[in-house]
Amino acid sequence: MKRSRLSVTLGAAFTACLSVRVRGRGEGGNVGADNADELASQREAELRMTREPEPERLSKTYVRMRHGSVTVGDLLYAKGGSFGPRIQTDFQLVVIHSGCLSLELDDETIDVPENHGILLGPAHTEHFFFAQERETHHSWIAVAPDALSQELRNEFVAFRGPIPFLGRMASLLDIPKKTAGPVSYPGPLQSGLYQGFGISILCDFASAVKAGHKVAALRMR
């Protein structure tokens, strides 16, 4: 049986298309493979950044614990200690009690002196460099973003500091650090207790930063 001109044309077109695909896989197929390798490398780099890196010259761990959406830490670094780089996943308040911190945050460097704090937010690359000439004692408390309302997240992003860490906020941070040992009844009650502490401290700190901005704005008038 004779084939129609249309079927011959379609057959020729299919053969040509198949030839191009096969030729593309053979001659230019490495392009797709290169792209896949590049994406895999980028993904691996992102995973490495979100994993907790190993601290350099960490002298002592006084407290390091997690309760639900909140983590608390209290550490001492030897001279020239460092931590990072890493990608921040929480809203984390870092407080320098003694020594100092030079923080590389994305493309900027922020100096945090003794008795000051800074509120860090998710999705930023951080690298911590502590004092070269003496030990640095610092604490932190971090709250997972999904434990916070969008309004609070916006406020925390807007008012990060650094500012002096004194008065009520310092007293509030002492409470979870002193009670941060193992508990005999872990569960929602403990998680809720620490979540309340964490949100209270971050709100108090961000409020102080916001108040400082208002004072500075008034002075500029």
pLDDT digits (tens, 9 = 90+) for 36-47: 666 666 655 555
pLDDT digits (tens, 9 = 90+) for 10-65: 444 444 444 444 444 444 445 565 666 666 666 555 555 556 788 999 999 999 99
pTM beyond 0.85: the answer is no
Question: Higher confidence at residue 111 or residue 13?
Answer: 111
Sign of the dihedral through C-alpha 120, 137, 61, 176: negative
Average pLDDT, the chain: 82
> Is it the case that residue 136 has pLDDT exceeding 70?
yes
Fold assignment, 56-220: Jelly Rolls (2.60.120)
Which DSSP symbol is given to 161?
A: -
| CA separation, residue 68 to residues 71, 72, 193 (Å) | 8, 11, 10
pLDDT digits (tens, 9 = 90+) for 148-179: 999 999 999 999 999 999 999 999 999 888 76
Domain with CATH 2.60.120.10 in the chain: 56-220
